Amino acid sequence: MPIRTTQLDITNDGSVKDAVQAIFSETGRIDVLVNNTGYVLAGAFEDLAMDEIKAQFETNVFGLIRTTQAVLPIMRKQKSGTIVNISSGAGRFGYPGQSAYISTKFAVEGLSESISYELEPFGIRVVLVEPGVIRTNIVNAMVVANKSQDPNSPYLQKTQRMAKVLENMMENGSSPDLVANIVLNAITDKSPKLRYLAGRDVEAWLDSRRNMSDEEFFKSMKRTLMS
């Protein structure tokens, strides 16, 4: 079956509504929504401007909310549908240098888990996919906070260190095919789980998180990312 595309801007209410209506008018139903749009705002928290943080949330959280609310009336009337939200291991634990991005993923986690209770009676399933480091263009599309690029920033050295660590992680990251296959399995499963991990790295991190105290995990992440 050929793939048809419809352009939309997830930061614009009218654009999202028009796109969803166009798809529904052509097909008569919407069975799956995969919320996969997002980017990373990098920089120490003190260096982040409020406008930069708002833009991060506008795309990563409010964009997801717009598309989800737009399809829900359709899915609810047809009494079926699957909503897949691409979260991140960063939605389960924090680390330095990307506090705004991590905050958006924590928001996606809480939102998804909460609405799963509300939508289950209507036959609508909610799925969270939590990738680790995946070899995509997310690093190339990363937005670095303006103040973080200032040579006078007290966080400059740590920010640069984190950038190098991330580059090394990307070289050993998992293939995007891993995430795609997990999404496919989730939407074709009659009884999907709420959460799916994607990547051995995120599996290892969360295993450590479960088995360590907060203090132990903090020290471990500090050694890995900031030493």
The identity of residue 49, as a single letter, is: A
Q: Given 95, 101, 155, 196, which residue is catalytic?
A: 101
Task: Decide if 87 is catalytic.
Answer: yes
Q: Given 87, 88, 99, 112, which residue is catalytic?
A: 87
Task: Decide if 101 is catalytic.
Answer: yes
Helices 99-119, 63-78: axis angle to 10 degrees equals: 10
Task: Decide if 95 is catalytic.
Answer: no
Helices 50-57, 99-119: axis angle to 10 degrees equals: 30
Q: Mapping DSSP to helix (H, G, I), strand (E, B) and coil, where does residue 132 land? A: coil
Give the contacts of 173 (CB within 8 A, at least 6 positions apart).
132, 133, 134, 135, 199, 201
Q: For the chain, give me the number of helices (H) and strands (E)?
A: 8, 6
The identity of residue 180, as a single letter, is: A
How would DSSP label each residue in 144-176?
Answer: EPGGGG-TT-TTHHHHHHHHHHHHHHHHTPBPH
Q: Given 95, 99, 103, 105, which residue is catalytic?
A: 105
Active site amino acids? 87, 101, 105
